[in-house]
Amino acid sequence: MSKTCYHCGSPSQSWVRHDDKDFCCDGCVMVYDILKDNDMGAYYDIEKAPGIRNKKAPIDYYDYLDQEDIKRSVLDFHDGNISRIKLYVPAIHCSSCIWLIENMHRLHKGVISSTVNFNRREAAITFNEDELKLSELMGLLASINYKPHIKTEEQKKTAKRSKRLLVKLGVAGFLFGNVMLLSFPDYLSDDIALNPEIIAWFKWISVLLSIPAMFFSGNEYFITAWKNIKRGIVSIDMPIALGIIAIFVRSLFEIATDNGSGYLDSLTGLVFFLLIGKWYQAKTYEALSFDNDYSSYFPLGITRIANNKEEIVPISELQTGDKIQVRNGEIIPADAKLLSLGASIDYSFITGESVPVRKEKEELIYAGGRVIGNALLLEVEKKAETGYLAELWKERSDAEEQESMISNTLNVVSKYFTIAIILISTLTGIYWSLYDSSKAVMAFTSVLIIACPCALALSVPFAFGHAGRILGKNHFYLKLTAIIEKLTKVDAVVFDKTGTLTDPDHFEVQFEGAELDQYTQSIVKSLAYQSRHPLSRALVKHLEKVGTFDVLDFKEVEGAGVEAMVMNQYIQMGSAQFVGARSDAKNQSAQVYIKLDDKVLGFYTIKNYYRPNWQSMVKTVQEFTEVHILSGDNDAEQGVLNEIVNHKDRIHFYQTPKDKQSYVSQLKKQGKTVMMVGDGLNDVGALKEAQVGIAVADDVHQFSPSSDAIISASELMHLPKFIRFSRSALKIVYVAIIISFLYNVVGLSFAVSGRLSPLFAAILMPLSSVSVVVFTSISVMLSGRRKGL
């Protein structure tokens, strides 16, 4: 068995030996020590290596949370010094996590109690503010690598909605059961029939019970149907609402005139089954949902300087012209002008490029950069909501979001279905009014009743819901199940290169020239250590075994190289021109020349480390769609990529985030359904623009850019398999739709001829729903198993 980290279980190349155990990094050791010092070793007993590795470990400040009005807006409950808050902790992933967070009171006595809601990745914490400030509580959680997030309004709403749906479902079940029992005597043969007076009583009780089924449990169908009519859209809710009304009116009429027994058991059953479908859909949605936009990366508050006084204000209150102070490691929340002398800004968050950018006084700094070094004084140019970042991230409009919720196929099918049903029912009504007018109204309503597309409405949520769960188990998380359908239509896939096809944390490093001794290696490493250029960092990682020396006179020439005095030797490191060497290799940009005291020793070739099996993955995808590759980097890797991608003109380098976005929209204009696969915030624009945006994340517990789906980096090679699986899921939906049509044809033939009996309806409707649900669930499961998912 290969060695894994005692804390987080991840494999590593370098090991930290501590307390007789192996750890992958100092971060893990730190958390282990915190737990051990507090006698919380049970964390490791419950699950093996349950920890989370916090690779990026950005510094976050939570001070702003102690501001009175901000605090009041985020706390759930506040009385004297006892406060209660619900935090969203995406890192919760196993039973050890639950144990640790629920035992927080052992870490700090200010915590009174904490409860985890696993499904929602939520921790409800009650704490004593005299002993533990809110900011300290957040810091405490972050220090054990469970980085907390303030819950968004949307998350709070979803929780309420799912509760209401459950109550509705319970009520519908209660009504269904009782109405079914009450209508039982109707189905008995005449010899054992009850007293008709009693039957009449039963019927009126049923009518009473059906009213809440319609207006409480089933009210949403009327609301959405009405909304859609107003917007001129025909949707599946319309025939459902029509059917419900038809059943109720007809039953009421029959019961009032003592002319039959009505279809109230079918009515309540219908509502119950439909709600089961809705509930399942909501449950899938909850299990899959991930909610993040750029503002969850941002602090809620920022230090504003007004009249020589520092005050912390919420970001939303920032006005143009405000002076703000941003400290080391903090993110600049709005486009702003630099007032300090000079600054280094790390834009890796936006561009993916990890070399910090130098900015001078009076220069405009875009939001999203992380400050490195001293605190900066800035003057806000644009409010946070109108800045560059917000523009990239522009939320889709409400209508668009709503439509993407519902499956497209279902929309098209139900449109024709509704029109057909209305036609058939009218024709039937006309026909009967000509021949036997006593049957006209009955036949007309019978058609509406039996055509109520319960099975149709259930097919999609169950088929896609199951498929979404299967994909989720394989670390491919969909935001909405309707994305499965979009996946099947993709005919252009755009890959981002850096971080998506390549692994941002690994490089292949090779030295060419006479091998360096350990002493020289140390000198090289000392110099590389000073620079934040990715190539330098790759070198440091490569030379991790050797030590470092003090560095004097360090100088960095942007785009060329670095130089310094190390151990009284003058060392230069950088491009061939920079050190004055002659180079004959083709792609110079990935070579680092070493020059020690006027002597060029050779060069390091640093190659991107591609994720395993990426070539076969891209090739398989290429079998059924076209593949494009965009890279924000230089063109050093052109050769490698040309071998894989069929068309050279589909590979582009030096792409800014805006370029990527417009590239995708260009493809869309050509009538293509575009899938964008990217990793960083630099791809956010393109991810949003594409019909299907997939974010690649090394750690799915951590936040990643807003997208339609998140795929774990290790599963990226299975992407073609996922696409194929979603195609078969769509086929299953088609079959389910055909099955429900068959039921409808049978039912309609009875209804049109005026022979629909309540008993027949009461059997056919649940039967069709249940059989469609069973069929889709089983076949999706089988299809998943066949595809090895």
Measured in degrees and rounded to the nearest 5, phi and psi for residue 61 equal: -110, 135
**DSSP secondary structure string for all residues of 413-432:** HHHHHHHHHHHHHHHHHHHH
By C-beta, is 205 or 551 nearer to another protein? 205
Stretch that binds another protein, among 115-123, 614-622, 626-634, 654-662 (CB under 8 A): 115-123
Report the residue from 89, 182, 274, 773 that binds another protein according to the rule CB under 8 A: 182
Considering the complex, what minimum distance in angstroms separates the CB of residue 57 from another protein?
24
Using CA atoms, how far apart are residues 783 and 728, in angstroms rounded to an integer?
Answer: 7
Size of the chain in residues: 789
Rg over alpha carbons for the chain, rounded to the nearest Å, is: 32
Asked if 201 touches another protein (CB under 8 A), the answer is yes
Considering the complex, what minimum distance in angstroms separates the CB of residue 49 from another protein?
11
Residues 6+ apart with CB under 8 A from 472: 287, 288, 478
Asked if 161 touches another protein (CB under 8 A), the answer is no
Classify residue 479 by its DSSP letter. Answer: S
526 neighbors 554 (Cβ within 8 angstroms)? no
Report the residue from 135, 174, 567, 650 that binds another protein according to the rule CB under 8 A: 174
Using CA atoms, how far apart are residues 760 and 754, in angstroms rounded to an integer?
Answer: 13
Amino acid at 353: E
By C-beta, is 41 or 559 nearer to another protein? 41
Asked if 119 touches another protein (CB under 8 A), the answer is yes
719-752 and 758-786 helices cross at what angle (nearest 10)?
A: 170
Considering the complex, what minimum distance in angstroms separates the CB of residue 174 from another protein?
5
Amino acid at 22: D
Site for another protein in 759-788 (CB under 8 A): none
Considering the complex, what minimum distance in angstroms separates the CB of residue 290 from another protein?
17
By C-beta, is 174 or 554 nearer to another protein? 174
Report the residue from 113, 170, 386, 753 that binds another protein according to the rule CB under 8 A: 170
Asked if 506 touches another protein (CB under 8 A), the answer is no
Look-up of token digits 């804390």? 7
Report the residue from 2, 39, 321, 669 that binds another protein according to the rule CB under 8 A: 39
Site for another protein in 692-731 (CB under 8 A): none
284 neighbors 296 (Cβ within 8 angstroms)? no
Considering the complex, what minimum distance in angstroms separates the CB of residue 779 from another protein?
26
With CB under 8 A as the rule, give the number of residues binding another protein: 37
By C-beta, is 163 or 361 nearer to another protein? 163
Stretch that binds another protein, among 82-90, 128-136, 173-181, 622-630 (CB under 8 A): 173-181
Stretch that binds another protein, among 40-48, 535-543, 623-631, 755-763 (CB under 8 A): 40-48
Stretch that binds another protein, among 110-118, 137-145, 360-368, 469-477 (CB under 8 A): 110-118
Q: How many CB atoms lie within 10 A of CB 227?
A: 13
Using CA atoms, how far apart are residues 384 and 191, in angstroms rounded to an integer?
Answer: 78
Of 163, 161, 157, 147, the C-alpha closest to 87 is 147
Considering the complex, what minimum distance in angstroms separates the CB of residue 122 from another protein?
9
Stretch that binds another protein, among 175-183, 306-314, 321-329, 434-442 (CB under 8 A): 175-183
754 neighbors 476 (Cβ within 8 angstroms)? no
Classify residue 192 by its DSSP letter. Answer: G
422: buried, middle or exposed (CB in 10 Å: 19+, 13-18, 0-12)? middle
Q: How many CB atoms lie within 10 A of CB 734?
A: 13
Measured between alpha carbons, how far is residue 750 from residues 89, 261, 450, 456, 765 in Å?
A: 56, 18, 9, 19, 13
Report the residue from 14, 33, 42, 211 that binds another protein according to the rule CB under 8 A: 42
- Interface mask (CB under 8 A) for another protein, residues 423-462, using x and -? ----------------------------------------
Report the residue from 18, 49, 112, 117 that binds another protein according to the rule CB under 8 A: 117
Considering the complex, what minimum distance in angstroms separates the CB of residue 477 from another protein?
17
Measured in degrees and rounded to the nearest 5, phi and psi for residue 538 equal: -65, -40
By C-beta, is 196 or 639 nearer to another protein? 196
Look-up of token digits 């409400």? 398
By C-beta, is 31 or 651 nearer to another protein? 31
By C-beta, is 183 or 428 nearer to another protein? 183
Considering the complex, what minimum distance in angstroms separates the CB of residue 177 from another protein?
8
By C-beta, is 120 or 497 nearer to another protein? 120
By C-beta, is 102 or 353 nearer to another protein? 102
Using CA atoms, how far apart are residues 605 and 88, in angstroms rounded to an integer?
Answer: 43
In the chain, what is the greatest distance between 2 CA atoms, to the nearest angstrom?
A: 114
Stretch that binds another protein, among 51-59, 164-172, 651-659, 780-788 (CB under 8 A): 164-172
Asked if 509 touches another protein (CB under 8 A), the answer is no
Using CA atoms, how far apart are residues 153 and 373, in angstroms rounded to an integer?
Answer: 34
Report the residue from 26, 33, 45, 311 that binds another protein according to the rule CB under 8 A: 45
Site for another protein in 120-159 (CB under 8 A): 120, 159
By C-beta, is 38 or 530 nearer to another protein? 38
**Six-digit token pair at 219?**
């009210």
Report the residue from 126, 128, 158, 178 that binds another protein according to the rule CB under 8 A: 178
Report the residue from 59, 167, 193, 419 that binds another protein according to the rule CB under 8 A: 167
Residues β-bridged to residue 88: 122, 149
Using CA atoms, how far apart are residues 203 and 288, in angstroms rounded to an integer?
Answer: 43
Residues β-bridged to residue 556: 562
Considering the complex, what minimum distance in angstroms separates the CB of residue 601 from another protein?
41
Stretch that binds another protein, among 196-204, 389-397, 651-659, 755-763 (CB under 8 A): 196-204
By C-beta, is 42 or 306 nearer to another protein? 42
Stretch that binds another protein, among 57-65, 160-168, 322-330, 500-508 (CB under 8 A): 160-168
422 neighbors 447 (Cβ within 8 angstroms)? no
Residues 6+ apart with CB under 8 A from 620: 720
Site for another protein in 205-244 (CB under 8 A): 205
H helix intervals, 257-353: 264-288, 348-351
**Six-digit token pair at 396?**
């889709």
By C-beta, is 159 or 581 nearer to another protein? 159
Using CA atoms, how far apart are residues 564 and 542, in angstroms rounded to an integer?
Answer: 20
Asked if 36 touches another protein (CB under 8 A), the answer is yes
Look-up of token digits 């188990």? 473
Classify residue 387 by its DSSP letter. Answer: S
Residues β-bridged to residue 337: 364, 379
Stretch that binds another protein, among 7-15, 194-202, 399-407, 542-550 (CB under 8 A): 194-202
**DSSP secondary structure string for all residues of 147-181:** --EEPPHHHHHHHHHHHHHHHHHHHHHHHHHHHHH
By C-beta, is 175 or 456 nearer to another protein? 175
- Chain centroid to Cα 597, Å, comes to 53
Site for another protein in 80-109 (CB under 8 A): 95, 98-99, 102
Asked if 196 touches another protein (CB under 8 A), the answer is no
Report the residue from 59, 194, 306, 585 that binds another protein according to the rule CB under 8 A: 194
Measured in degrees and rounded to the nearest 5, phi and psi for residue 436 equal: -150, 90
By C-beta, is 38 or 662 nearer to another protein? 38
Pairing of strands 599-610, 370-372: unpaired
| Interface ranges with another protein (CB under 8 A) | 1, 6, 20-21, 36, 39-42, 44-46, 95, 98-99, 102, 116-120, 159, 163, 166-167, 170-171, 174, 177-178, 182, 194-195, 198, 201-202, 205
